């Protein structure tokens, strides 16, 4: 499995179906998906390559996984850079297979390599999709992540 950083807008059509799939499987699926916002995130990442990246993973040009991350200072600190993974997702087709594990590991390897090249001292994963939390937890613990808090949510009625 290979990983690469999204280099230009030609990757957008490959990313959209994967993000749509992630959205439909997530705890946030009741919120209408906004393709323009996805395109805007990609554009932002492309314009700020030193501080943000969209990591892709797959084979033979097929995108089977994606992650969006940024590097910057701690919100109330300075001088030390941290990487934040805002979202990471492996396609439904592969998620529960050995190949899906390889996609996830490729993404994490790419993010770690990218983070190190930007002098980041730590990687923070915010698993906000809420998909297979137990499996995600098991994988990230296995590759060296520790628990630091949690994300909770409660839906309220939409008006």
pLDDT tens for each residue of 2-49:
999 999 988 889 899 999 999 999 888 989 999 999 999 999 999 999
- Residue 118 pLDDT > 90, yes or no? yes
Q: Are 24 and 83 in contact (CB under 8 A)?
A: no
> Domain limits of the chain?
2-142
The mean pLDDT of 85-107, rounded to a whole number, is 93
The rounded mean pLDDT for the chain is 91
Q: Which fold has domain 2-142?
A: Aminopeptidase (3.40.630)
Query: How far is the C-alpha of 115 from the C-alpha of 50, rounded, in Å?
Result: 10
């Amino acid at each position: 499995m290979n990983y690469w950083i999204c280099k230009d807008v030609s990757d957008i059509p490959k990313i959209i179906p994967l993000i749509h799939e992630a959205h439909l499987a997530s705890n946030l699926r009741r919120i209408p998906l906004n393709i323009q916002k996805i395109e805007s995130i990609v554009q932002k990442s492309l314009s700020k390559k030193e501080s943000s990246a969209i990591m892709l993973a797959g084979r033979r040009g097929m995108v089977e996984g994606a992650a969006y991350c940024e590097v910057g200072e701690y919100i109330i600190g300075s001088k030390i850079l941290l990487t934040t993974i805002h979202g990471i997702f492996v396609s439904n087709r592969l998620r529960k297979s050995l190949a899906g594990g390889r996609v996830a590991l490729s993404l994490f390897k790419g993010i770690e390599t990218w983070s190190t090249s930007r002098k980041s001292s730590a990687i923070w994963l915010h698993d906000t999709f809420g998909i297979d939390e137990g499996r995600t937890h098991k994988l990230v613990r296995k590759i060296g992540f520790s628990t630091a808090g949690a994300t909770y949510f409660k839906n309220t009625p939409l008006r």
